[in-house]
Structure 1
Amino acid sequence: MLLVMIACAMLFTVVYSEGSASAAATGSGVSSPALNQTYKQVKAGTYYSVGLRSDGTVWTWGRNLFGELGIEKKATITSFPYPLRLPSLTGITTLSVDGQEGYQLGVKADGTVWEWGRDPFVYRQSILPRQVQGINGVAAVSSSGGIASAMLNNGTVVAWARLGGEDTSAVNPVTIAGLTNVTAISTQGMVNYAIVKDGSVYAWYAKLDDNRNVVLSKPWKLAGVSNVKQVSSIWDTGYAVNANGQMWSWKLTVSSKLAISYVTKPARIFSSIKVRSFNSNLLLSDAGVVYNVVNGKLNKVSGLPAVSAISRGGYHQLAIDKQGHVWGWGANKWFETGSPTSAEGGMVYTPAQLQSGVDIVLNDNRIDTIVPAYESDSTVQIPIKLLAAELGIRFSADSDGTITLARGKSIVTIHRNAGDVKVYLNGKPLELKSSIGSSAGSITIPYELLASLEIGANWDAAAHRLSIMT
């Protein structure tokens, strides 16, 4: 008889419990190819993260306390240590995260815009992924302070007020007058920025009036910067990187009449290094080296391979290496770095690689659950309660913590007592090579236990795919 410890990665943050109602697993109804594990875009929000894979799927992890992940309408699961796919989001080409608002936008290959995340009008409630009605032909998106913006395929920019989760009406996009041939937008901070085809930069101010109508200033062309390929800001301070890897910073102010002007004009910074991109005091050099900017000085981030993209959230940082793998470091109380373990104080001091997501395929159909399967101790842990109905398993939980899994003539009983677990098959002790686990308050079992219920399963470690046959 093997005594196994429950490996509960989220014990102190979980509201959702095994005995409560849960989202059921749903099949996709289509054959599932192997996962493309590489990421092409990653965004760090405030205590959570969102990643876009090369296959157009969107994955998320970290805090869900206020519904920011967009995985369930009423937020009951407060955080996720493992990447979870948002199954209704496919064919996404680019995404944007408003970390302060807990709100995301994505663009599909057909030019439609999709939104998900925290409902701004209902406490601890999510907007599940849905298409934003009333706008099409979009190439890129951005959002800040309740106002969403989109760069259209024709090179113009529009903005609209965010809607609440119960409002499914079409938005009313307002065109930013005077902006044409736009190639990139950024709407973080006090003002919004656009780069146009000739490499010049324009800034404009946007706000909502008392009736939630979008009020816009006239776009203002920045003097002193040119040939720009990337622009960003931290409140009133803007930053630009040009095609030669040179970087400038400046400060702006906005008058009561919405006129924009310089507080300090653009000045070269970090002239000793060729810069690829900059994001909220996180700098990526052209050589693929990442630096934290502290008091105006560059501090190299150790422990990373060559990096191609960076993102800084409220208290954690993310990077994509040149092989498409995601790395995270910094604050990790809510598992926002993607690491299921932390050092003292809830920190990840040395960058850790994000664990790959697991695809579950049942009889050639992909299965998505609100709690993801995950790799642990040379096995794959699966959320058995959420999968039970799909697998033809009768699941029951007693008040004393005993779990019963029944299928045909096979009955597996899991007794949990003060952290120790005893497992029986038809009343006889059953030895397990891997422990019973827990994630987001949902009990998980090593997939090998399915064999005791006469269910076949095969783990393809290279494809990160668990194929189950019933």
Structure 2
Amino acid sequence: MSWPEPSDHRTNPEQNSFIPHDPPVKGKPARRWRLAVASTWLTTILLMGLGHGSISYAATTRLPPSSTSGVHTTAATTENRLTYTAVEGAHYYTIALRSDGSVWAWGRNMFGELGVSEDIRYRHTSSPIRIPGITNVIAISAAGSGINAAVQADGTVWEWGAGTLPYQVEGISSAKDVVTSSFNIALLRNGTVMSWQHPGTQGNHSEVHRPHVISGLKDIIQVGSSGQQGYALKKDGSLWTWNEPSQPDNPPSKPAKLKGLSNISSITSTDTSLLVLDQNGKVWALGEKGKPVLLHDDLKVKQMDGNSQYILLLTTSGEVYSYGRTVTGKEGRVKHLSGITDISAGYHHSLALSSDGTVWGWGSDKYQEAGAPATSSGGMVYQPVQAKLGIDVYINDELFQSTYSAVQTQYTVQLPVRAVSEAIGVAFERNQVNGIVEAYSLQYEDRTVTIRPNELEATVKSTSSSTAQSISLPEPIVNYSGATTVPFEVFEALGLTVNWNEETRMLTIQSDT
């Protein structure tokens, strides 16, 4: 194909984008094809309906041996070590796919972006929380509108966020990838494409419109979108586009081949334009009137992502470069990153996945969307920080999940006390005087544990003894993301068997009843 001469489009103070602007369109940038084949280390079966309280699932795999000691760690083998396999950044939050096929999220949840409750909101969480009701996931996508989607290994597509729990998209049973934007697109296993609109109102699943087939498309290997424009990359390297109707009752336009483009290996959109990666590792932007413009000819790129403000480029050597109005205000190579295999350009923070399955975040961190507390003033992270792996909690061999996550700290794991107590059958009370909490009490069978705020000691009293026993706690009772949390050692003091395995990211609680 005939390409124009190279041009290094870097941002100047008067330029709001890294490429010449087409007329602005709405919508989250369509994510590049994310397919992370997840090993089924832990398969779970949904037992209870979704609700804003706690949720339990049956464990179908053998749990670690119980132990009366508080901490039990073993060296995990490479095969069963949990890692992240894909990551997506959106507006002030992050979702990530773990190697066991589970999906986790962290960051802002003021508008229900994380999709863990239809009723409860809280400002943020940096501790990853597991998305309920979906398992064996192979692909994920996140949108700026707060809508997220995933494909399960059985080919079904699930959506959540913007105040809704995960629900299955009707009419799709053989998907292998999904892209969320102002409308959604699914790539099917047979190389065809389906698209559909978002719900008309928050939480109203009845207004989700059934997917329709984009006629004339076959042998497709990747899909994307920008505003109401859909894109499909064929196996032969050609690129096709169609217009998605803004009214759900209207059919999409007939796909048309984009002329002058060939030998394309991947695509991604940036809200206002399309980025194209050719088979030689060169990145092209479709600028004014669809004219291709070569970007950063000095780099050999294997992956790209971006939005209307900036782009991320991942080179074949595993280095990350950022250009435009970047999340830190600096262009060029992102320092302190190497061996990177995946990238994601969130609107205010950036993310990278390393070859060892670690997620790194930088940029805006007002809601700890980067994955850890901010390291600089103004809620910023200038040097990438490592995001944590989520913690699975099992109660009597059933996977437990509440609206609030378990939180690993330097000394222990903090648990949302009310939700865990309800699941076990522990009576939890706050003892108040004139509206001020003076103590918290947990009662289980013949034992009662009393904890005072800000203290590192608790008292344990048993009906079989006339004297109370004092125990030390690694941390006091605290409030995290709006939930009261206690160290797991408190439940041990109630006579429960608690096991925390940091390698497998699993905490188990067993009762005798």
In the alignment, which of 259, 262, 272 is matched to residue 226 of structure 1? 262
Return the offset for 1:420: 6.0
The answer to whether the aligner puts 1:469 opposite 2:510 as a matched pair is yes
Return the offset for 1:351: 0.7
Return the offset for 1:96: 1.6
Return the offset for 1:398: 3.0
The answer to whether the aligner puts 1:265 opposite 2:291 as a matched pair is yes
Conserved 8 A contact 1:23-1:386:
no
Q: Distance in 1 between matches of 2:427 and 2:447?
A: 11
1:1-20 residue pairs with structure 2 within 5 A? none
1:444 aligns to what?
485
Change (3 A) 1:74 1:312: same
The answer to whether the aligner puts 1:403 opposite 2:444 as a matched pair is no
Q: Distance in 2 between matches of 1:457 and 1:235?
A: 48
Deviates more, 1:394-403 or 1:309-318: 394-403
Task: Report the AA paired with residue 29 of structure 1.
Answer: A
1:166-181 residue pairs with structure 2 within 5 A? 166-168=204-206, 171-181=209-219
2:350 aligns to what?
317
Return the offset for 1:393: 1.5
In the alignment, which of 273, 284, 288 is matched to residue 314 of structure 2? 284
2:95 aligns to what?
50
Return the offset for 1:344: 1.2
Return the offset for 1:299: 0.9
Return the offset for 1:160: 1.8
Q: Distance in 2 between matches of 1:134 and 1:169?
A: 14
4+ residue runs of structure 1 moved beyond 4 angstroms? Answer: 32-36, 295-298, 419-422
Q: How many matched pairs? A: 426
1:18 aligns to what?
none
Task: Report the AA paired with residue 404 of structure 1.
Answer: S
- Secondary structure at the counterpart of residue 122 of structure 2: coil
Change (3 A) 1:79 1:457: same
Identify unmatched segments of 5+ residues in structure 2. 1-50, 64-79, 462-467
Deviation sequence 1:102-147 (CA, Å, 0-9, x none): 00111112221111111xxxxxxx12101111233222222222x2
Conserved 8 A contact 1:82-1:340:
no
In the alignment, which of 122, 142, 164 is matched to residue 77 of structure 1? 122
Change (3 A) 1:330 1:303: same
- Secondary structure at the counterpart of residue 207 of structure 1: coil
Q: Distance in 1 between matches of 2:483 and 2:380?
A: 25
Q: Distance in 2 between matches of 1:295 and 1:173?
A: 36
Change (3 A) 1:381 1:172: closer
Q: Distance in 2 between matches of 1:33 and 1:375?
A: 23
Q: Distance in 2 between matches of 1:348 and 1:158?
A: 39
Q: Distance in 1 between matches of 2:279 and 2:331?
A: 21
Identity %: 33
The answer to whether the aligner puts 1:25 opposite 2:54 as a matched pair is yes
- Secondary structure at the counterpart of residue 395 of structure 1: strand
In the alignment, which of 348, 368, 388 is matched to residue 335 of structure 1? 368
Task: Report the AA paired with residue 494 of structure 2.
Answer: L
Deviation sequence 1:78-98 (CA, Å, 0-9, x none): 321111111311011112211
Conserved 8 A contact 1:457-1:466:
yes
Identify unmatched segments of 5+ residues in structure 1. 1-21, 119-125, 253-262
Return the offset for 1:462: 1.4
* CA RMSD of superposed structures (Å): 2.3
1:112 aligns to what?
156
Conserved 8 A contact 1:31-1:366:
no
Q: TM-score, normalised by structure 2?
A: 0.78
Q: Distance in 1 between matches of 2:352 and 2:134?
A: 22
Q: Distance in 1 between matches of 2:359 and 2:460?
A: 40
Conserved 8 A contact 1:405-1:413:
yes
Q: In proportion to residue count, which structure has more strand?
A: 1
Q: Distance in 1 between matches of 2:357 and 2:185?
A: 28
1:158 aligns to what?
194
